[in-house]
Amino acid sequence: MAPNPGLLTAAVQVRDLVRRYDDRAVLDGVDLDIAPGEFVALLGKSGSGKSTLLRALAGLDFGVDGAGELVVPANVSVVFQDSRLLPWARVLENVVLGLGGAGERGRQSLDEVGLAGRESAWPNELSGGEQQRVALARSLVREPELLLADEPFGALDALTRLKMHVLLRKLCAAHQPAVLLVTHDVDEAIVLADRVIVLDEGKLVAEERIELAAPRSPADPGFSAVRSRLLDALGVSL
């Protein structure tokens, strides 16, 4: 059979993915492809299985009951809601941990996230937003083909969040990883993603390709139309 070129070029392929906790299917037949360099945002109610899907893609759900096919690139980085920096290691050491002799690359990454000069700081000397920037630097210094992010800005104030959006877009344009971003924030999803998907009752129930011109503004009528369709899919009626 001739190979399917579409499948050969996907960064992520998920087929009929099932994950069960206590015999309850939290993911119940999820199919998802992510193209190289594509930015996908994942929305869903609390408890809908977003983190479960992300952990499956990250290979962090060893031992969990399930089935299905999962193809991900070899080089995957994960960013969580809290930065998970090691408190006993300085900022630069956190960024290059396990990379061996990558100090210069680490410095460049810190520069990219606007933290040049903070290499020797301890994590607890940084603000929450700065710590998340270190976490992004730590992910991107590894040049991942897939970046998985689970509500990475969820704990930040609104202004810092907006700044992080600008930074993330810039970093993704420069490094072009495929991205799966889990978020509760519909506007954040629309501002950042090429495609937004919605998980409900263990299945992907909606998909919106976002073709709005940059910079995307929530004041734009096209933006509001997409937002209402996504809120509908999330079961929120305004």
Q: Which listed option, ligand ATP, Mg ion, none, makes contact with residue 48 (CB within 5 to 8 Å by class)?
A: ligand ATP
The binding site for ligand ATP (CB under 6 A) comprises 21, 26, 44, 46-52
d(CA 197, CA 44): 8
Closer Cβ to Mg ion, 46 or 124, answer by number: 46
Greatest Cα pair distance, the chain, in angstroms, is 58
Closer Cβ to Mg ion, 91 or 189, answer by number: 189
Residue 32 Cβ, how far from ligand ATP at the closest point, in Å? 15
Chain centroid to Cα 93, Å, comes to 23
Residue 196 Cβ, how far from Mg ion at the closest point, in Å? 17
Integer CA distances (angstroms), 100 to 95, 105, 139, in order: 11, 11, 15
d(CA 55, CA 39): 18
Closer Cβ to ligand ATP, 37 or 66, answer by number: 66
Q: Binding string to Mg ion for residues 172 to 211, with x set by CB under 5 A, is what? A: ----------------------------------------
Q: Which listed option, ligand ATP, Mg ion, none, makes contact with residue 152 (CB within 5 to 8 Å by class)?
A: none
Closer Cβ to ligand ATP, 52 or 94, answer by number: 52
Q: Which listed option, Mg ion, ligand ATP, none, makes contact with residue 237 (CB within 5 to 8 Å by class)?
A: none
Half-sphere exposure for 169 (CA within 13 Å, toward CB): 15
Q: Which listed option, ligand ATP, Mg ion, none, makes contact with residue 133 (CB within 5 to 8 Å by class)?
A: none
Q: Which listed option, ligand ATP, Mg ion, none, makes contact with residue 26 (CB within 5 to 8 Å by class)?
A: ligand ATP
- Across the chain, where does the E strand assignment appear? 12-21, 24-34, 39-44, 65-71, 76-79, 146-150, 178-182, 195-200, 203-209
Q: Binding string to Mg ion for residues 37 to 66, with x set by CB under 5 A, is what? A: --------------x---------------
d(CA 214, CA 231): 22
d(CA 79, CA 221): 32
